[in-house]
A = this chain, B = another copy of it.
Amino acid sequence: MKITINDIAKMANVSKATVSRVINNKEEGVSEETRKKILKIIDEVGYVPNSNARSITVSETKTIGLVIPDVRNLFFAELARGVEDCSSEHGYTVFLCNSDMDNYKQKIYLNALLEKRVDGIILDTSGDFKDKKFKNKFYKIDIPVILIDRKAKDLEKYKGVFIDNVEAGYKATKYLLSGGYENVAYIGGTYGIDTTMKRFEGYKKAIEEAGIELNPSYVVYGDYSIKSGHENTLSLIKKHREIKGIFAGSDIIAIGVIQALKEMNILVPDEIEVVGIDNISVSQLITPSLTTVAQPIYKIGYRACKKLINYINHKFDDGDEYLSTELIVRDSTRKRI
């Protein structure tokens, strides 16, 4: 039924070696005449070479795996698009995997990607490998991996593309502090993971630098969801009406924060100011629009993919890459003079 290189060879009265040369655009080794003849037949019968068969002999698949928590989150969607653009520019196709921050799912996906013999993997990790046996196996395979967004201890051997999360947290907190008050809270995402804790460090640094004593009850964690931001704000502000500024661990969290504040009839920014991190596209659509520390999200994905492809091609491109962030002031904070 399916038509193969053999069929084309027979129809053209040549060997399949010659057809192979033609479909792979080998400059030499085929006369213009036979090349044309073969191309014509391929076109007429609608032959499509089987890249899987090819891949088993050349041991490269021109595919890459992308593992992110959830495409529905604008942040990861933007990241995914950056990856996909770069990869398609270089002739690669990408497998999309949604891990939901679930270590088990992540393992399943990584395994599937290995079986599919992807040339490399871009990983926004859900943390360390819980399954240490799998970790060893994965290590041994020694497939090119580029990290994005988050690091993890188990993945130290891999390089990646990130932002400086300490700096981002510092910038956000410092800007809040510049409002002339001291009571600034940090409503963070998932406790323990790289980004969350680094942003906390930045928060802490800014607080201490301002000569303020860090109040532990002003620091709470949850996860990276609207709901989490919402709930944490409700309970935090109920206890601490003196809080004047909230540094939200991400824009998504910040949206939940603002929602909660509205429900409590607290005015943003007049009574409480809010700053997020990410600058996802909705940040400017909500009311009040969100002041945030912008990440070059698309670029992170794009660069990570570029880095991966270099890696695959054994091009020297060492070390982690840190892309710069930028504070974007909108309406969830008051005007500074």
List residues of chain B with CB within 8 A of the CB of A264: none
The reply to whether the CB of A136 lies closer than 8 angstroms to some CB of chain B is: yes
**A310 proximity list for chain B (CB < 8 A):** none
Q: Which of A79-134 contact B (CB under 8 A)?
A: 80-81, 84-85, 88, 93-98, 108-109, 111-117, 133
Q: Is A116 a contact of B74 with CB atoms below 8 Å? A: no
Contact indicator per residue, chain A 43-65, by CB within 8 Å of chain B (1) or not (0): 10010111111011001010100
Contacts of A6 in B (CB 8 A): none
Chain B residue contacts of A93, Cβ below 8 A: 95, 97, 112-113, 116
A315 interfacial contact with B, CB 8 Å: no
Q: Tell me if B56 and A52 are in contact (CB < 8 A).
A: yes
Which of the four size classes fits the interface of chain A?
35 or more
Stretch at the interface among A30-38, A207-215, A241-249, A282-290: A282-290
Q: Is the interface of A mostly helix, strand, loop or mixed?
A: helix
Residue pair A71, B80 in contact (C-beta under 8 Å): yes
CB distance from A154 to the nearest CB of B (A): 16
Residue of B nearest to A105 (CB): B88
Contact between A48 and B141 (Cβ–Cβ < 8 Å)? yes
Residues of chain B contacted by A153 (CB below 8 angstroms): none
Closest B residue, CB atoms, query A70 = B81
A95's partner among B48, B74, B96, B112 (CB-CB below 8 A) is: B96
A51 neighbours in B (Cβ, 8 Å) = 115-117
**A278 CB within 8 Å of chain B:** no
Min CB gap A43→B, angstroms? 8
Give the docked Cα–Cα distance between A78 and B117 (Å): 28
Find the B residue at minimum CB distance from A45.
Answer: B140
Of the listed residues A81, A97, A108, the one surrounded by the most CB atoms of chain B closer than 10 A to its CB is: A81
Closest to A259 in B: B285
Say yes or no: A63-B116 contact (C-beta < 8 A), given A77-B71, A80-B96, A96-B84.
yes
A49, B255: Cβ atoms under 8 Å? no
Contacts of A133 in B (CB 8 A): 43
Asked if A314 is at the interface (CB within 8 A of a chain B CB), the reply is no
Contacts of A141 in B (CB 8 A): 46, 48
Give the residues in chain B near A335, CB-CB below 8 Å.
none
- What is the bound-complex CA distance between A255 and B281, given in angstroms? 12
Tell me whether B84 and A116 are in contact (CB under 8 A). Answer: no
**Chain B residues in 8 Å Cβ range of A85:** 98
Cross-chain contact A98 with B81 (CB below 8 angstroms):
yes
Give the residue among A49, A59, A137 with the most B Cβ atoms within 10 A.
Answer: A137
| Cα(A303)–Cα(B260), bound, Å | 35
Residues of B contacting A66 in the complex (Cβ-Cβ under 8 angstroms): 96
